[in-house]
Chains A and B, each alone.
Chain A
Amino acid sequence: MPRFCHDFLQRLGTVPGLIMLGLVLFWTIGLIVLPQLSMLDFSFRANLPPSEVGGPNDVHTLENYKYLLYGPEGGSQRYNSVDLKVFFRTIVAAACVTLFDLVLCYPIAYYLGQTQGKHIRVLALLLIIPYWINEILRAFALRIIFGETGVLNGILVGTGLSDAPFDFIRNNYALYAGLGYAYILLMIFPIYNVIESLDRNQIEAARDLGAPWWRIHARVVIPYARIGISSGCTMVFMLTAGALAAPQILGGPSSLWFTQLIYQHFNDSSNWPQGAAYAVVLLLSCIVMVLAFMRLFKVSMGDVNK
């Protein structure tokens, strides 16, 4: 270690080298590792008024995690069915949204990656533009469309397809459409980047050997695009499961997203340790899902984020 530091300082000069090492230490330790550990520790503590913090009552407890499983003490139900349902719904829905995005984006990424021509650049430009628009505004745009007096209901009622406005928001259609919409580009670009580098001759060869189009995809393109697909899926899943804006804006009144529970613990009921415990659960389940995913696709951490 000292040798590395010595080498680093010699390479960059003592003063810039020291500043940079300091910054990296601050970033990794002070911004990444310690806050996470601090949150983890905090999630095991009881919710105390400020005067009792550090006092004899400030001990570690499993209370906050128990709450997620069993609900309030002396509650009528055996399990905290409300919160648990929200949790599993979030995970399952996030997985479904990821799958939906993958199915939707794969053909586009393949087309963009394997077609030559000037119009590809225009299409790529068109893809990037929505990504620059604020997340809140994108959710808002969908709300205009799916709202009770929105465009979609206007069309449905106007053309006589339906005689009463359909409540897309209460039925969560708006939420799923919004979540799928929000992170769609993070699915396209990784797959596109990989497919672009696929040699067309491989596809030609497969075709010449008589493979039908679906087998070309199954045997040539998808195995090649594995890294792109897995990194796209990872990003979309993590972002969807951790989304807060879209559920707040597009979610129905009766259905919550797990992040909204966390938000409520922090902002409405100001039970921070409880919220921290939920955040830890979210983080851990996301990590487990991603690791399972990387195992499934046989990719390593270094391949993600390419």
Chain B
Amino acid sequence: MSQLGSRIGVQIYLVIFFAYLLGPLVIMSVTAFNSSSFPSAMPWECLTFDWFRSLLQDSRIMNGIRNSILIGAGTVVLSVLMGLSGALVLMRIWPRLRATYYTIVIAPILIPGVVLGISTLVFWDRINRLLGLGPGSVLSNGLFLTILGQSTFIASYCMLVMVARLQRYDETLSEAALDLGATPAQVFRKILLPFMRPAIVTAAVLAFLASFENYNTTTFIFGEYPTLTIELSQKVRYGVTPAVSALAFIIVALTIFIALANEAIRRRRELVAAVRSGASVTVAAGGRVTLPRIFSGNISAVLVVAMAMGTIVMIGTASVYRPDQCIADLRQEKQLAAQKRAEELRRQRDAKTGGTGENVGIDPVTSPAAPPRSQGGGFETVFDPGVLQELGN
């Protein structure tokens, strides 16, 4: 009995925990489809795809994505190279220096990102001045500074990945190659590098993601190259539109897609390995609807395909569906409500002043809803009182 009780307890805890973890992301994704001009899910207005359109037309976001990719590429190259070298040095360094060296190269992970950004900014500014270069030189360029600043700590992540792989490297392989007459450079290129390839790929992916996400370090040094994260933070801090939610939805969907695809490939590999070792997978498809071989026993693969189809359907709907009628209805409704409210206010005020001043009643402030404008931008309801309150926070 108590066993059952504790199992139910565990289940409830798991549900609450994952709700805390995933709930906000789900709600954020939902707001991308609500026509309300402030991202909200609760008073559901109309289903719309307009926010995706306005996202694509946002030149700052697009510019931010370009900068992020540029900086990400630079950071990946630099930090993977530094991480690999750092790991190789760690393996061979003089034992007495090893602890100090390890502390130095690991420290950037623990140093607050803000501090890294500031120290990069201050240091290169000083070098720049020391060399007598002007403010427009390479050393004060946002691209250069951001790549260096981010690489400082991302290289540490890369190094940890490399070290984990290097620890399994069999030194005798190098020795055998050397004995057979290979030069050290050949050993490095033909044996060590191929062995390290999985770690290098993992490190590169990690480095790119870390660079793409980084805010704390970048915010001090981006200069004229605001990354996507910087642009997003500006948008979120000063006036949000659901276009941000639309971007978030795309990122969430992409993340799930990649995670599932990765899982599917891994599962596929496991299945193949199982078949090779003599076990049989045909059991999975016995008697029921037979799926293509890739999918049998591979839920992730099924989900990947389902998601891809869902995306196609969504894009198809988006190009056909027009929520104009719904939005127009809603606008009319709001206008009526606002008029009613204005009238009520006027009546109240009249009652208070005892009808002494006729001209007091006509006050533009009392009709909060501006007359509807015909352009299809996302700003029709910017003057809603709710929006202003939100911005005031």
Contact = CB atoms under 8 A, between A and B. Distances in A.
Interface of A: 1, 3-4, 7-8, 10-17, 19-21, 23-24, 26-28, 31-36, 38-39, 42, 53-54, 104, 107-108, 111, 121, 123, 125-130, 132-145, 147-151, 154-155, 158, 167, 169-170, 181, 184, 234-235, 238-239, 241-245, 248-249, 252-253, 259, 262-263, 266, 272, 275-276, 279, 282-283, 286, 290, 301-302, 304-305
Given A4-B94, A244-B216, A151 B21 contact: no
Nearest to A306: B160
A169 B17 CA distance: 22
Contact of B122 (A8, A42, A130): A42
Nearest to A241: B112
Given A141-B248, A286-B111, A301-B99, 15 more contacts: A4-B92, A27-B155, A28-B101, A35-B123, A123-B14, A128-B259, A133-B251, A144-B245, A148-B390, A235-B110, A245-B216, A263-B220, A279-B118, A301-B102, A305-B106
Contacts of A107: 10, 13
Contacts of B102: 301-302
Nearest to B392: A253
B81 interface: yes
B183 A13 contact: yes
Contact of A170 (B14, B39, B184, B393): B393
A156 B20 CA distance: 17
Which of under 10, 10 to 19, 20 to 34, or 35 or more describes the interface residues of B?
35 or more
Nearest to B151: A31
Given A16-B188, A170-B393, A133 B248 contact: yes
B298 to A, nearest CB: 12
Interface in B179-212: 183-189, 209, 212
Interface string B86-102: 10110011100001011
A108 B19 CA distance: 13
Contact of B89 (A24, A144, A234, A301): A24
B225 interface: no
A140 B240 CA distance: 9
B374 interface: no
Contacts, number: 277
B4 to A, nearest CB: 15
B24 A144 contact: yes
A276 B122 contact: yes
B251 A150 contact: no
A27 B106 CA distance: 12
Contacts of B21: 126-127, 130, 181, 184
Contacts of A275: 118
Given A133-B251, A142-B24, A21 B89 contact: yes
B236 interface: yes
B56 interface: no
5 contacts: A27-B105, A137-B28, A149-B386, A283-B115, A302-B99
B104 A32 contact: yes
Contact of B123 (A39, A108, A133, A169): A39
Contact of B22 (A12, A129, A135, A154): A129
Contacts of A35: 116, 119-120, 122-124, 152
A275 B105 CA distance: 25
Given A21-B89, A129-B22, A249 B236 contact: yes
Given A23-B82, A136-B232, A181-B20, A266 B220 contact: yes
A24 B86 contact: yes
B185 A263 contact: no
B146 interface: no
Given A129-B22, A184-B21, A141 B10 contact: no
A32 B121 CA distance: 13
Contact of A125 (B27, B118, B259): B259
Interface stretch (B40-48, B311-319, B351-359, B360-368): B40-48
**Top 10 nearest A-B pairs by Cβ distance?**
A242-B112, A13-B185, A154-B42, A20-B85, A141-B24, A35-B119, A13-B184, A35-B123, A141-B28, A39-B119
A123 B18 CA distance: 9
A177 to B, nearest CB: 9
B185 A31 contact: no
Nearest to B24: A141
B106 A301 contact: yes
Contacts of A108: 13-14, 17
A238 B106 CA distance: 14
Interface string B117-133: 01111111010010000
